[in-house]
Amino acid sequence: MKIPGLPVSPPTPGPDEFVKLAATVPLVSEPGTEWHYSMSLDVLGVVIQRASGAKSFEAFLQERMFDPIGMKSSYFRVPTREVHRLTANYGLMGGFPLPIDPSKTSIYLDRPAFAFGGSGLVCSPADYDRFLKMIANGAWSATSG
């Protein structure tokens, strides 16, 4: 959805081109001196997928985390059968809420260029609770092989 005042972004390339382009972006600061949101986690998802030999980062997560801890409602692309469970995302414009991603036409119903390590995962509250319990119980090592 075009949002007034924001430019329309070009389509995201696949993982090979994404990593090549990411490598050309200058650093904001020297590594280890400051923290900034960045595409580093997206690149890390590609690295994890390749180092693990998984078909995709999504497949890696499915096999190594989602299935072992019972996360059954976590998707990088929400299936059409689940659209009734999505909520609309809102942004404020002039102090008023504006639906910027209505559930019936959500961007999460479209296949992303690839599964990003730092964004794009949609999950149910129950799945998020399972994830948090895994972290709290120190169970990641048990699911990561």
Question: Both tokens of residue 32?
Answer: 């280890």
Q: Do residues 14 and 56 make contact, with C-beta atoms less than 8 angstroms apart? A: no
Which three-class secondary structure state does DSSP give residue 132?
helix
Q: Domain boundaries in the chain? A: 15-76+112-143
What pLDDT is recorded for position 140?
A: 60
Long-range Cβ contacts of 125-131 (<8 Å, 24+ apart): 126/73, 127/66, 127/71, 127/72, 127/73, 127/74, 130/69, 130/70, 130/71, 131/65, 131/69, 131/71
- Give the pairing type, strands 74-75 and 122-123: antiparallel
Which band of pLDDT confidence, cut at 50, 70 and 90, is reported for residue 139?
A: low
What pLDDT is recorded for position 3?
A: 62
Residue 142 has pLDDT above 50, yes or no: no
Residue 1 has pLDDT above 60, yes or no: no
Q: pLDDT of 84-127, one tens digit each?
A: 999 999 988 889 998 989 999 999 999 999 999 999 999 999 99
Element (H, E) at 51: helix 40-52
Q: pLDDT of 29-84, one tens digit each?
A: 998 899 888 889 999 999 999 999 999 999 999 999 999 999 999 999 999 999 99
